[in-house]
Amino acid sequence: MAVRRDGAFVKKQRLNDIYRKLTQRLEANGGTYGLRKFIAQTEYEHGLNPKTILNYLKTFEAMESIIVDEKSGTIAEWYDTSEVTAS
């Protein structure tokens, strides 16, 4: 059986690894983590540029896994914002 190593597969593996590390860091830090710190760590560990890392984080945010707040410089565990705004 051939091993699949096309670009989509490599990107999927990278996304899975980054997401796993992100959730571990969020869990270890009470549900929030510094955006700049995470970008720097991921840039060092994976050799990706900050723009790519931010795009990956936006993908996780679109999947309702995390919330990226660029203004405050934090990443947080996702919560249902419709319940907060409906109150």
Summarised one tens digit per residue, pLDDT across range 10-26 is 999 999 999 999 999 99
Q: What is the pLDDT of residues 12-67, one digit of tens each?
A: 999 999 999 999 999 999 999 999 999 999 999 999 999 999 999 999 999 999 99
Place 5 in a pLDDT band, splitting at 50, 70 and 90: confident
Residue 27 lies in a domain: yes
Domain extent at residue 27:
7-86
The answer to whether residue 1 is domain-embedded is: no
Task: Tell me if 62 is assigned to some domain.
Answer: yes
Domains in the chain, number = 1
Confidence class for position 79, pLDDT limits 50, 70, 90: confident
Residue 2 belongs to a domain: no
Nearest to 66 by CA among 32, 21, 16, 24: 32
pTM, rounded to two decimals: 0.82
CA-CA-CA-CA torsion for 47, 51, 54, 60, nearest 10 degrees?
-80
The CATH number given to whatever domain includes residue 66 is 1.10.10
